[in-house]
Amino acid sequence: MKPIQLSRWGCICLIICSISSMAQFRDPRPVKPPPNIIVFLVDDMGWEDTSVPFWDQLTDRNKRFRTPNMERLAREGVKFTNAYATPVCTPSRVSMITGMNAAHHGVTNWTSPRKDINADAPDPALDTAPWNWNGFSPVQGVPHTVYATPLPALLKTAGYYTIHAGKAHWGAMGTPGANPYNMGFLVNIAGHAAGHPQSYLSEENYGNMPGKATPQAVPDLEEYYGTGTFLTEALTREALKALDEPVRRKQPFYLYLAHYAVHVPLQADKKYIQHYQDMGLDEAEARYASLIEGMDASLGEVMDYLAARKIADNTIIMFMSDNGGLSLVPPRGGTPHTQNLPLRAGKGSVYEGGIREPMLVKWPGVTKAGSTVAQYIMIEDFFPTILEMAGIQLYEAVQTVDGKSFVPLLKNPGQTDSLRTLIWHYPNKWIAEGGPGINYRSALRQGRWKLVYDQQQGYTELYDLVADIGEKQNLSGVYPKKVSALLSLLSEQLQHWNAPMPVLKASGKPLPWPGK
């Protein structure tokens, strides 16, 4: 399978080269030490769930949230205003760790912690698409998984000290993908097969209450049981504790601090909730905002740690979320699917509310403080970007990488490429009741244009995101040739990747490719 040309920047061509170790990182006299890299990943955080505006104006949501440390990071680094992930978590996380688009790796929906359990909701007319419901596997031959070389393993081989803290959720129990140690992490703190915490509360042992634990009970944090330490803070402390070792050794590190926050259950972080209750927010929204502020405090602690250890100047921080903000009510408060306005819908949807992310990058000596990148990028881009940041040019990976490095954008934030094509593919039923842009959808962005495709109905929508970020005006009747061109691009790429498609029960055959 050959990669196809997706943009003028060209595809990522992997140079396959067998190296077992890049020993220069252990040389006591490197010319320039490789940078430390921190990926600070938040779960289910919407584009506007921060006091940092990622649009051209401050929205009501921006005014609600207090994220002073994100503001600090934005001031010191680059803000990406068109950063994307997939509509739900596992596809995004697998894309980040493999560099592959979700339509390509086939882990198109969230994965159950339990093996061989397809998390799709049942549908009267459609059978499940043959997606990889056991998730990602770093080992070949595991049924219903995508086999690929994980990013941390490449970093470890190159001499990085690799630390996982928080949510993993790459693969199911009973498969190698359940275990962060199999991803190339040297340290694992609290990462496992589950996609959310049973509890954020130390008073509930993060879920590990005898007789009450579910697969979502958070492992490895017994030290904090009953101490009043909120999960976000416990993870931060453990992550920083683990960082002491590479810092002491002056070994470059990769820290993947993937917070469970701000995923449900929406539990109050007592340190922060009072302010939001005082604002008059309903209880659910106040709790949500307290989760956001606790997450932001964690970012601040990380930045303070780097400053105190005098390693901030050689440490890259990347802030990202894995999908759009949840817009289901309950558990959120307010009117369903309004939580990300002006963006349409939320988590689970291919509309902007489900996929657009707050993203910040600070690379001391490379990024210009307070700059902005408007070029759209996608979560699989982190894979080649991080390898480029680490100076790893030759590596061995079994997969063809779809992402492209955004290092050029960090160096030249004004650069644009309106021909680049981003693709979303969600051949799954996320929730029984459906919703805007939710279930059995694909989408494509090229330049200002966004095409949304309903796999079941064969229906297309076209939006001009520059003029209409809220995707209110379907222009498909106005620009039929554009629709046809974009639909053809989408269809070809999905076919190229042999993307999973839902199966029509009546015929036993997959739904047709878009436009067919």
CA atoms within 13 A on the CB side of 464: 10
What tokens appear for 341 in the block? 């306005």
- For residue 448, the tally of other CB atoms under 10 A from its CB is 13
Question: What does the DSSP assignment read for 109-137?
Answer: S---SSTT---PPP-SSEEPP---TTEEE
Q: Helix or strand or coil: residue 255?
A: strand
Would you give the binding string for its own copies spanning residues 26-55, x where CB under 8 A is met?
x-x---------------------------
The amino acid at residue 178 is A
Selected binder of its own copies within 3, 130, 215, 391 (CB under 8 A) = 215
- Of the pair 210, 508, the CB lying nearest its own copies is at 210
Instruction: Tell me: does residue 400 bind its own copies (CB under 8 A).
Output: no
Q: How far is the CB of 205 from its own copies (least distance, A)?
A: 7
* Stretch binding its own copies (CB under 8 A), from 72-80, 179-187, 287-295, 360-368: 179-187
- Return the H-helix or E-strand segment holding 372: strand 371-373
Q: How far is the CB of 120 from its own copies (least distance, A)?
A: 21
Selected binder of its own copies within 108, 175, 236, 439 (CB under 8 A) = 175
Instruction: Tell me: does residue 270 bind its own copies (CB under 8 A).
Output: no
**Residues from 144 through 163 that contact its own copies (CB under 8 A):** 156
Q: How far is the CB of 139 from its own copies (least distance, A)?
A: 10
- Return the H-helix or E-strand segment holding 304: helix 283-308
- Of the pair 142, 350, the CB lying nearest its own copies is at 142
Distance in angstroms (rounded) separating the CA atoms of residues 283 and 218 = 25
CA distances from 274 to 203, 277, 330 (A): 19, 5, 21
Phi, psi angle pair for 417, to nearest 5° = -145, 95
- Of the pair 244, 282, the CB lying nearest its own copies is at 244
Instruction: Tell me: does residue 340 bind its own copies (CB under 8 A).
Output: no
- Of the pair 186, 295, the CB lying nearest its own copies is at 186
- Of the pair 45, 235, the CB lying nearest its own copies is at 235
Instruction: Tell me: does residue 435 bind its own copies (CB under 8 A).
Output: no
Selected binder of its own copies within 33, 68, 174, 515 (CB under 8 A) = 174
- Of the pair 255, 499, the CB lying nearest its own copies is at 255
Strand partners, 471: none
Instruction: Tell me: does residue 304 bind its own copies (CB under 8 A).
Output: no
**Residues from 3 through 22 that contact its own copies (CB under 8 A):** 20-21
- Of the pair 28, 124, the CB lying nearest its own copies is at 28
Comparing CA positions, the residue from 498, 403, 508 lying closest to residue 83 is 403
Instruction: Tell me: does residue 115 bind its own copies (CB under 8 A).
Output: yes
Distance in angstroms (rounded) separating the CA atoms of residues 36 and 42 = 19
- Would you give the DSSP letter of residue 441? E
Distance in angstroms (rounded) separating the CA atoms of residues 326 and 331 = 9
- Of the pair 215, 470, the CB lying nearest its own copies is at 215
Give how many residues touch its own copies by CB under 8 A.
47
- Would you give the DSSP letter of residue 217? P
What tokens appear for 125 in the block? 């007319």
Instruction: Tell me: does residue 182 bind its own copies (CB under 8 A).
Output: yes
Instruction: Tell me: does residue 75 bind its own copies (CB under 8 A).
Output: no
Distance in angstroms (rounded) separating the CA atoms of residues 354 and 212 = 32
Strand partners, 321: 42
Cβ contact 500:108 at 8 Å: yes
Q: How far is the CB of 21 from its own copies (least distance, A)?
A: 7
Selected binder of its own copies within 77, 99, 113, 358 (CB under 8 A) = 113
What tokens appear for 104 in the block? 């390509």
Footprint of its own copies (CB under 8 A): 20-21, 26, 28, 113, 115, 156, 173-179, 181-182, 186-189, 192-193, 202, 205, 208, 210-215, 217, 219-227, 238, 241-242, 245, 248-249
